[in-house]
Structure 1
Amino acid sequence: MKIALFILSFFTLSFISASEINYEVSMPEPHTHYFEVKMEIIDYEKEYVDIKMPVWAPGSYLVREFAKSVENLSAKANNKLVSTEKLNKNTWRIHSNNAKNISITYAVYAFEMSVRTSFLDASHGYFNGSSIFMFVEELKNNPISLSIIPFEGWKKVSTSLTSVGDFKYKAPNYDILVDSPVEIGNHITFNFSSAGVTHHVAMYGEGNYDIEKLKVDMAKITQAATDVFGENPNKEYTFIIHNLTKGSGGLEHLSSTTLQVNRWTYDEDNYKGFLSLVAHEYFHLWNVKRIRPIELGPFDYNNENYTDLLWVMEGFTSYYDELLLYRAGIYTEDEIISKFRGSINNIENQPGNKVQPVADASFDAWIKAYRPTENSYNTTISYYTKGSVIANMLDLKIINSTNGEKSLDDLMKFLYSEYYKKEQRGFTSSEIKKAIENISGLDLTDFFKNYIDGTESFDYPTIFGYAGYNIETVLNKKPSLGISLNYNTISKVTRNSSAYDGGLNVNDEIIAIDGYRVNGKLDEFIQNKNVGDTINVLISRDEIIQSFEFPLKERGNTYYYILKENKEMNSVCKKWLRQL
């Protein structure tokens, strides 16, 4: 069967016969948190039909078992009830007896407010398709229609799906359907234009946002992102923004994104953080949704989809989500350098950085990144942060090696034009290494061996020196226990620290140090101590009182400072830190 890539960074296979899939979503009692779903399969005659619920949401690498929320499934064939049976955790068999038309109904409990899942209450409804819509494996590439019946009094539906009438939509296939989240209710909406694209914004929840300011700043960011690639593949794009007590970040989609933030995040101190999130998810419409590892398309919705390239997909995007704010004039030079410095200090002072290569962090996202334990800090590294530092290093190396003629932008443009537009597929690990080498003119065999598949630290002084910056390091020699507390209870113990070597554990409750009750004020008992001093720590472990004595060690953190040699930018710096 011929494989071809359509506008999504997934594959589309020739659809089977003229079969159509129609979905209807209603919410007659939103306070109960149940979406009612009707699925119709037209012109598909089989003795039985197997329907499946995805186990994960693309872009969020964790098996979430969406089938756990399905209830009351029943089916009719030619308007007559037929038997159904569950074959495994996410598959139901409909005994349709060669009927031409099949109708399946089921309810989905939706009360998890995150960008990856679905939520319904008396104030609004929101869903990601992978947690709502079942599919027939061999019909995933057939055309789809969707009807939404909002709760009485709800007047708005926001989604990037193509509208064909009042609350009626169409999608060319299942991938597009589930890649288009839907917001339902009476939310505030507004539009802005930039980069030749009409951007729709749906705002759920109260907040201290200023719509006119958002229009200006979001336009700057979307334009800056488009400038990297020279074109924007969308004519329309939808932002769904949830203003909540506690946000959960964002999730990218082909022509839309969902952002969940604290409702008061638009003040002076936090607003740039929000804009960075906007930049991150918007950059994904190229990097992940169109530029992608070959393993991420076509999606297997029944199992994990492994790749060792999330350091490119998420890490490079994390680099650009800060760089774009500088290019758009939102960050100052000092602010962008501070962001780069923060990422370096983050990874270089995490023990897991010397344990887990970033390629492994990417591959094991399914079992480690999304399932952290109390020991993850000691054994893992974030492919977001480590990947952003790698992108920074590669950007400077490319600019320097090409005498300012090329930068990381040229790599992103190449991946977009070569693999998305020309080859119409994803790329392999070896292909992206070759692409970076071709752009930079460098042999990156050792770079990949040491920094991607290995855990060595970068030569920061040399690489930042290309742009006229000095690197100064300061070793923190103050004494430290090496723990984090949740009030008096240990939540993290840093590997090779005083507490680690001394025998303290996560979940130990610290009662006293040297005979004095702690009451959550650990620093007061350490700040006047010296390295090598022995301390006595009284704890409760499983409600058994125990006493430990051990010497204090140095904190051991190395702080990196990026300092400019001269006020004037050299040629590498001008290429690196350029604004619109």
Structure 2
Amino acid sequence: MSSPAPACPRFQLDLSQPSSHLVGVRLQHTPRRPQLRFALPAWTPGSYLIRDYVRQLEGLELHQGGQALPLRRVGTSQWQVALPSLEPVEIRYRILATELTVRTCHLDGDHGFLALAAVVLELEGERWSPQTLELRLPPQWQAFVPLPEDPSGGWRATSFDQLVDTPVEVGPHRCHQFSVAGVPHRWVSWGRTLSGEDLPSPAPRWLGDVERVCLACCRLMGVERPAAAAYLFVLHLNANGYGGLEHDSSTVLQFGRRRLAQPAGRRKLLQLVAHEYLHQWNVRRLRPAELSPYDYGQAVVIPTLWFAEGITSYVDQLLPHSAGLCSAAEVLDDLGADLSRYLLTPGRAVQSLRQSGEEAWVKLYRADADAPNNQISYYLKGAVLALALDLHLRRVGSGLPVVLRQLWRRLGCVGRGYRETDLLEAFAAQAPDLQALLPAWLEGLEDPPLAAYLADVGLSLQPRSQSGAWVGWRLKSGTGGLTLQRVVRDSPAQQAGLMVGDELLALHGWRLHQPDDVAQLLQPEAALSTAEAGIPLLYARDGQVKTTLLRPASPAIEAWDLKPDAEADAASLDRRHRWLSLELP
């Protein structure tokens, strides 16, 4: 007798009881072999942290022919079972959905969101088989899924990878439709603005602006149409969130409604749109070789995250301006803020840019209070390096857009993953001296010559000093008193023996309650006059009251401002215009 024909895995997700915050899962499958192994992913592509999604899994059972079969756990999120026959099996379990981020799951009475890496099991031997998805929803809810519909109901993914790459948003939401170069796009929002709307501004204007940003991304990559055949935007408007996660044919954004109401809020959201939309080329299809294919069970060292995220973080600030949606002065404000944050991060002198990407799994996504002292974000330093590379290339009549387009045509279009040597060759092909300069910037701790590059476009960075004496700490007031939130390495605060979490009680005999109390006592003249002897400081740590002497230093730089040079010549101004507009020389 022949064995039953294998059927593709079919997932049925029950979200019909949102108040339980539980997603019921049924996985139906006809096995190929008498031993079945399966696993839940430990992370989701685009967010480089082992999240151990198995923490939210409960009630796992496997049934065949009406009987429950014993499962043997062979890893923290892996199981296997010996099957008495090759008859169809059904795996049942539940997923707790209480964490609202773009990479986890959330279900309540207002909506549901699923990052499917946290939900779907990978059956051994079925990774490249089609997978189908069905949803059971509360009345009046609808689903927004960036997959083609399956003729038998639900949706169909061509492989497990495509299924994992599918964010699922459900709820009684309104769907807004528009197109980009003839490609259908959808926009769905959960949550409301402070004025009670589901979009940041009236639909025609907002969707038109998003379309312009999308077209600017296409122009940057030198293509006429988006890479995806259809595209879905999902926006979660909440109190204070910020972030996004890219997918092949969609993105999920999170943005705070209070931030949106600020003067720069709408521009910042458009930059986030640009960042995630551009990822359908840079990261999703033009992908680091280490991510081809994905290993969902463990961390993979990726030395080129500076390109994947840093380049994207740099151009996302220029793309709304390229689309005609903000002024050059606003772009310079945003670039200046990033340059200032970079120059004020001590960790850039400790961790190289390549190390930042290689250590993402254990450092950037697990940052603590000391992180600014010993690490630098590959998003931030990568964006600063991208700025330097762009202006360097413009000196020889090229530009960053040329490199992106050539890499896309040579590698991205054919789905070939890149290694760092591919990137070095692409940059050196435009400017041969980058063959030596770029590795030095990636491996070393020295900054690129930012002042010289900015001078090319009639700009300069000007320091702004703080008003009080410098001690190198950041304070937080609350129910626990006035505590140290951050202590800068080698600062007067660290030299006084202070550490994060200490509660400050009194300075120079005066009781402390608020950060302003400290500021008044650290005015430069008075503080520096007693610095040699030290200022008595009373503090508490682990229930014990301690004393130390604080020796403040002269006021330090608190920010760097990016300023236009009033005497810049016409050639510099023209270079600046073309640079900010992403136009080539």
Same fold (TM over 0.5): yes
Q: Is 1:331 matched up with 2:326?
A: yes
Q: Distance in 1 between matches of 2:282 and 2:511?
A: 52
Q: Which residue of the other structure, out of 389, 397, 401, is the alignment partner of 2:392? A: 397
Aligned match of 2:539? 539
Supply the AA of the counterpart residue of 1:61: Y
Aligned ranges 1:364-403 → 2 under 5 Å:
364-402=359-397
Tell me whether 1:452 sits opposite 2:466 in the alignment: no
Match of residue 86 from structure 2: 99
Q: Which ranges of structure 1 fall in alignment gaps of 5 or more residues?
A: 1-16
* Structure 1 residue 465, shift from structure 2 partner: 2.2
The one-letter code matched in structure 1 to 2:243 is: G
Residue 240 and residue 230 in structure 1: after superposition, are their counterparts in 2 closer, same or farther (change >3 A)? same
Closer/same/farther in 2, CA of residues 301 and 496 from structure 1, 3 Å limit: same
Give the drift of 1:80.
3.7
What is the CA–CA distance in structure 2 between the aligned matches of 1:562 and 1:291, rounded to whole Å? Answer: 35
Aligned amino acid, residue 454 of structure 2: F
**Structure 1 vs Structure 2 CA RMSD:** 2.0
Give 1:150's match in structure 2, choosing from 117, 125, 137: 137
Q: Is the Cα contact below 8 Å between 2:70 and 2:81 reproduced in 1?
A: yes
Report the Cα distance in structure 2 between the residues aligned to 1:128 and 1:500, rounded to whole angstroms: 42
Give the Cα separation in 2 of the matches to 1:172 and 1:289.
16
Residues 77, 99 of structure 1: 8 Å contact kept: no
1:240 aligned residue (234, 237, 255)? 234
Answer yes or no: is 1:549 the counterpart of 2:573: no
Structure 2: runs of 5+ lacking an equivalent: none
1:217 lines up with 2:248 in the alignment: no
Secondary structure of the residue aligned to 1:365 is coil
Answering whether residue 112 of structure 2 is matched by residue 115 of structure 1, we say no
2:427 aligned partner: 436
The letter for the 2-side match of 1:45 is: R
Letter of the 1:202 counterpart = V
Change (3 A) 1:296 1:485: same
Tell me the equivalent position of 2:171: 185
Distance 2:463 2:368 in 1: 30
Give me the TM-score of the superposition, normalised by structure 2: 0.91
Q: CA deviation at 1:371?
A: 0.8
In structure 1, the partner of 2:568 is: 566
**Alpha-carbon distance in 2 for matches of 1:417, 1:74:** 47
Which letter maps to 1:171? A
**Equivalences for residues 491-506 of structure 1 within 5 A:** 491-506=485-500
Q: What displacement does 1:464 show?
A: 1.6
Q: Does 1:226 align with 2:221?
A: no
C-alpha deviation, 1:194, in angstroms:
2.1
Which one of 14, 25, 36 corresponds to residue 37 of structure 1? 25
Structure 1 residues 108-117 or 519-528, which shifts more?
A: 519-528
1:12 matched to which residue of 2? none
**Residue of structure 2 equivalent to 1:7:** none
Tell me the CA shift for residue 475 of structure 1. Answer: 6.0
Tell me, in whole angstroms, the C-alpha distance in 2 between the residues paired with 1:363 and 1:506: 27
- 1:156-305 equivalent positions in 2, closer than 5 A: 156-164=142-150, 168-207=154-193, 208=195, 209-210=200-201, 211-231=203-223, 232-267=226-261, 269=263, 270-305=265-300
State the SS of the aligned residue for 1:114: coil
User: Against the structure 1 CA distance between its residues 355 and 140, is the aligned structure 2 distance closer, same or farther, given a 3 Å change threshold?
Assistant: same
Partner of 1:545, secondary structure, is strand
Deviations 1:353-406 (A, max 9, x none): 10000110111011000111221110000111111111111011111122xxx2
Counterpart code for 1:566? A
How far, CA to CA, are the matches of 1:465 and 1:144 in structure 2? 55
> Are positions 1:485 and 2:475 aligned together?
yes
SS of the residue 2:395 aligns to? helix
Give, in angstroms, the shift of residue 473 of structure 1. 4.4
Contact residue 96 and residue 102 of structure 1 kept, 8 A: no
Matches of 2:152 and 2:102, distance apart in 1: 25
Q: How big is each residue's C-alpha offset from its partner over 1:534-575, in whole Å with a ceiling of 9 and x where there is no partner?
A: 322111111211111132113433735342343745453343
* Superposition TM-score, scaled by structure 1 size: 0.92
Contact 1:510–1:539 (CA<8 Å) still a contact in 2? yes
1:195 and 1:222 in contact (8 A); partners too: no
Inter-partner Cα distance in structure 2 for 1:505 and 1:167: 59
Once the two structures are TM-superposed, the CA of residue 447 in structure 1 deviates from its matched residue by 3.3
Residue pair 2:427, 2:434 contacting (<8 A) in 1 also: no
Distance 1:437 1:561, change over 3 A: same
The answer to whether the Cα contact below 8 Å between 1:199 and 1:237 also exists between their aligned partners in 2 is yes
Of 453, 472, 488, which aligns to 1:463?
Answer: 453
In the TM superposition, what is the alpha-carbon distance from 1:491 to its structure 2 partner? 1.0
Q: Is the 8 A contact 1:327 1:578 kept in 2?
A: yes
Q: What is the one-letter code of the residue matched to 1:389?
A: V
SS of equivalent to 2:291: coil
1:526 to 519, 522, 528: 522
Contact 1:222 1:282 in 2 (8 A): yes
Which shifted more, 288-297 or 94-103? Answer: 94-103
Residue 11 of structure 1: aligned partner: none
Q: Distance between the aligned counterparts of 2:560 and 2:461, measured in 1?
A: 10
Give, as a single letter, the amino acid of the residue that structure 1 aligns with 2:443.
D
Secondary structure, counterpart of 1:370 in structure 2: helix
TM-aligned CA deviation for residue 265 of structure 1: 4.0
Letter of the aligned partner of 1:198 in structure 2?
A: P
